[in-house]
Amino acid sequence: MSRRHFTLGCVVTTTLLSLAIATPAAATATTLADVDYAALGDSYSSGVGAPGQTGSCLRSPYGYAALWAARNNPTSFTNLTCGGAVTGDVLSRQVPQLPSGADLISITIGGNDAGFAPTVLTCQFASDAECQRTVAEAETDIGATLGGKLDNTYAAIKRKAPDAQVIVLGYPLLFDTASASCGAGMSLAKRRALNHGAQVLNDLIKARVEAAGLTFSDVRDEFAGHGICASGAYLNGLTILPPQNSFHPNRNGYTYGYLPAMIDALG
């Protein structure tokens, strides 16, 4: 997905972890005091949508990766996340910088490959029928091409850091569907279509993660009842300033959605 599309918005808790981190059988047991943590992935890992974004990758101290590191004080924290990243960016730019001795790795990836940013934007301004056609086309592309890209990405991470526990987090369903209205442009039919597309994306990611022998963390439960237009939403709707915040988690989404999902995955 192009950076131009990313600037419009990408698609696609507080409990401290006090127990030892469970690692694959090949790794030795570790505790938080000696964990080397690395974060990979796209804008949902860099913290786009939350305050304090800096640099060309738009990393925020309120993204879930930065929050986890700040609260658990691992031995090292390598933040390689970057807003707008696709699987090819993880392979060419992030994995080469990944410490081979990392014990814990987290990542969100696949939303930009799936082209969900332009899909959501099309739905914002199109008719219900056009939105549904666009989502259906995106779902077809996801099934045809994304699986192989994810397989290659996960394999590269495992080769570079073979003893790390790798947690792959999914994406939330963006929209609340409990109410009939959700502002201009987002009918109930559109919201349901887009949520279905996100479901298809998450199901594929989960399947490829399990095939790779990694850990999948589904964030949909944490975000349930907190979609765009819900009371207490964990996600930003269409945002004019700054535009990249559109359809990304807000500060509460990272704190009470993604962070607990990561903690739960660690057991």
At residue 34, φ and ψ (nearest 5 deg) are -130, 30
Q: Which of 43, 45, 46, 246 is catalytic?
A: 43
Residue 25 in tokens: 């059988």
Which residue in 250, 217, 237 sits closest to 176, CA to CA?
237
DSSP state of 162: T
Q: Which of 60, 106, 246, 248 is catalytic?
A: 248
Q: Is 248 a catalytic residue?
A: yes
At residue 47, φ and ψ (nearest 5 deg) are 100, 20
Residue 201 in tokens: 């994306």
Helices marked H in the chain = 3-6, 43-46, 64-72, 87-89, 116-125, 128-141, 147-160, 188-212, 220-223, 251-253, 259-266
Residue with the two structure tokens 């990392």: 102
* Residue numbers annotated as active site: 43, 248
